Amino acid sequence: ILYDHRDDAAELTRRLVAEALPFRDLVETERNNLSLRSRRLFTFSAIYHATNALLSECEPEDLDAALAMARAFWETVASQLPEWEQVRRGRIASSEVRQDLIHSHGVVLHAFGKVGAALLREDPDGWRDRLGVLSEIDWSRSNPVWAGRAVVRGKLSKATQSVTLTANYIKQQLGLALSAEDRRVEDSLNRNLHDAA
């Protein structure tokens, strides 16, 4: 993706990674996975897919407008997740954040993008304020709410269903309505949890 110069979304992501403060110096651009000792917090591909999801329902006038919107969104999200800035400043290790918290992993970034698209559609003037709720969510990997959503059989899952279920939980915390498809996936999870119990 990084080297595809015909893909506008890749160009947007390249500029976003270079210009948006939350991502500066924290993005692995060469590999799709982060090693345990990596100083990076995000992968380029995770930001690419998350930003595509964010902009999927709006039609910015041009690349600059899309970049401005994406940058505003990600900087607002980052302001609610202080660990991102602490890693950037070298106060905590990225490996520690990735091990204990889920909010820098691809599944959650993609979910943030989906939630952002819904927020921009439903509340184009008040979306920034509503993202304040992100700071109140327990992002610990051990939080039982993520079991079956972002964490499947003890591991983070990037499956489409996991992205939707993670986005559903965040949407509910922000007071956003679930779509019919969101509700179907949510009902399936609830049935599985009930059957397991």
Mean of the per-residue pLDDT values for the chain? 92
Give tens-digit pLDDT for 27-78: 998 888 888 888 999 999 999 999 999 999 887 778 899 999 999 999 999 9
pLDDT tens digit sequence for 127-148: 999 999 999 999 999 999 999 9
What is the structure's pLDDT at 190? 85
pLDDT tier for residue 187 given thresholds of 50, 70 and 90: very high
The pLDDT of 151-169, averaged and rounded, is 95
Cα separation of 162 and 148, whole Å?
8
| pLDDT score, position 32 | 83
Nearest to 81 by CA among 39, 42, 55: 42
pLDDT of 25 > 60? The answer is yes
pLDDT band at residue 193 under the 50/70/90 scheme = confident
pLDDT score for 33: 87
Confidence (pLDDT) at 111: 98
Contacts of 149 (CB under 8 A, 6+ apart): 162, 165, 166, 168, 169, 189
pLDDT given at position 8: 83
Q: Which pLDDT score is estimated for 197?
A: 58
How sure is the predictor about 106, in pLDDT bands with cuts at 50, 70 and 90? very high
DSSP state of 130: H
The C-alpha atoms of residue 120 and residue 161 are separated, in whole angstroms, by 22
Q: With a cut of 80, say whether residue 6 has pLDDT above it.
A: no
Tell me the pTM: 0.93
